[in-house]
Structure 1
């Protein structure tokens, strides 16, 4: 188990405004799983050809995606952007 955590960046209110509660719950679940990966979260999602930087992870079968930043120095995964096409 990793000591990493996750957080919203800039804020939960800003990022989740207008999203259905089930989508928010799925994003929280994914963020928890990414944090559990610990340092390996810098390689999760896309792009596949490099690690670090802003990463993209598909959401609910391709109906949207999240962009996140894994910061080893902070031991934290930050959810930075959400695109939901519904």
Structure 2
């Protein structure tokens, strides 16, 4: 377990507006798991050829994805965007 946390960026209202509650719950579950990875979260998801920067991770079997930043200096994973195809 790490001391990392996660947050919405810029805010939960902005990122999750209009999403079904089940999707929001899955986003928050994934964000908690990414934070539990700690520094290794900079290598999770796309793009596969480099570390850090804005990353993408599939959501609910490819029905959408989340965009996140893992910032080691802040020990935080920031969920920046959620795309949901429904």
Q: TM-score range by the shorter chain?
A: over 0.9
- Show the counterpart of 2:66: 66
- Per the alignment, in what secondary structure is the counterpart of residue 46 of structure 2? coil
* CA–CA separation in structure 2 for the residues paired with 1:16 and 1:80: 10
Kindly state the Cα deviation for residue 19 of structure 1 after the two structures are TM-superposed: 0.4
TM-score, reference length from structure 1: 0.99
1:19 aligns to what? 19
Unaligned runs of 5+ in 1: none
Alignment partners' CA distance in 1, 2:44 and 2:6: 14
Q: How far did residue 85 of structure 1 move? A: 0.5
- Structure 2 gaps, min length 5: none
After superposing on structure 2, the runs of 4+ consecutive aligned residues of structure 1 that deviate more than 4 Å are none
CA distance in 2, matches of 1:33, 1:85: 22
Aligned equivalent of 1:38: 38
TM-score relative to the length of structure 2: 0.99
SS state of the match for residue 70, structure 1?
Answer: strand
- What is the rounded CA distance, in whole Å, between the counterparts of 1:38 and 1:16 in structure 2? 23
RMSD of equivalent CA atoms: 0.4
In 2, distance between residues paired with 1:62 and 1:11? 24
